Amino acid sequence: MLLHLSTWQEVESYLQTSQGIIIPIGSTEQHGPTGLIGTDAICAEAIAKGVGAETQALVAPTINVGMALHHTAFPGTISLRPSTMILVIRDYITCLAKAGFSKFYFINGHGGNIATLKAAFSEIYAYLDDLQIPHANQVQCQTANWFMCSSVYKLAKELYGEHEGSHATPSEVALTQYVYPEAIKQGFLSPEVGKGHRIYGAADFRQHYPDGRMGSNPALATPEHGQQFYDLAVKELSQGYLEFITVA
C-alpha cells in the first residue's frame, strides 16, 4: 500500500490496525561512469515497496535527496546539508505522528545518510515531547540499510570479492539494472580506482576518487545479480520490519 496512491480515508482505516510505516530514503549523487545518479533512491524505493507488499505495510513517498556533500564536485549530484536533512526528517515524521503513526522504519540506500538519520531521530524524540503529542513516548524510528543486510553482504562478497568496493558498487548497480533494465549504462572503467582515502570535502573526494568509484568494479554487475540482491533484501528487511513493529 503506497501512501501517495491512497486516500486519507484509506490511511485512517490502516491506522486502526497498524501504526507502522516504511520510509524509503536514498540520495541523488554520482555513482561512477556506469552508475545511475539516482541509484541510492532507486534501490531503497524498490526494496521498500517489496517489503511493504510482503508485510502489508504502508510505504511513504521516497526521500530522494540525502546527505551527499562530498559528491557535489561531480555534476548532477544534489545534496542536503546535515542540518537541513534533520529538519526534513523531523517535519516528515511530525506530520505522520500527528496522524497517529508511531513506528517509522527507514529503508536506507546511502551510507552517507546514516549519521544524520541517527541525529535526526534524537532531535525528533525531543521535538515531539515539546509539542506534547499524546503518544510522543511511543514514537520509535529505526534505520535499515539494505546494503548491510547479512544475506546481501554475503552474496556481494561471494560474487565480487574485493571488487565490491564501497561506492558505485556492483551490488547496487546490479539492483538498478534489475529495476531499470532499459537504463543500463556502458562506460570506460579504468583499471586504476581510488580506495582507502578518508572522506573530507567535495574537491578532496574527487581528487582521490577521480571517476567517482571507491574500490569497486561495477562492470561485474548483471540484472540477474540484481534480482538476487532484491529478493534477499526484501526477505531480510520484511522480517526486520515485523520484529520492529511488534516490540514495545
Tell me the domain boundaries of the chain.
3-246
What pLDDT was estimated at residue 133?
Answer: 87
What pLDDT was estimated at residue 134?
Answer: 87
What pLDDT was estimated at residue 248?
Answer: 74
DSSP string for residues in 107-176: EE--GGGHHHHHHHHHHHHHHHHHHT-TTGGG-EEEEEEGGG-HHHHHHHHHHHGGGG-SBS-HHHHHHH
CA gap 162, 140 in Å, rounded = 36
What pLDDT was estimated at residue 151?
Answer: 98
What pLDDT was estimated at residue 247?
Answer: 84
Angle at 127 between CA 248 and CA 19, to 5 degrees: 35
Q: For the domain 3-246, what is the CATH code?
A: 3.40.50.10310
CA distances for 132 relative to 94, 97, 98, 205, angstroms:
11, 11, 10, 43
Question: And the C-alpha cell for 140?
Answer: 520509535
Of 73, 11, 66, 8, residue with least CA distance to 39: 66
What pLDDT was estimated at residue 20?
Answer: 98
- pLDDT tens track of the chain, all 248 residues? 999 999 999 999 999 999 999 999 999 999 999 999 999 999 999 999 999 999 999 999 999 999 999 999 999 999 999 999 999 999 999 999 999 999 999 999 999 999 999 999 999 999 999 999 889 999 999 999 999 999 999 999 999 999 999 999 999 999 999 999 999 999 889 888 999 999 999 999 999 999 999 999 999 999 999 999 999 999 999 999 999 999 87
Of 121, 111, 41, residue with least CA distance to 86: 121
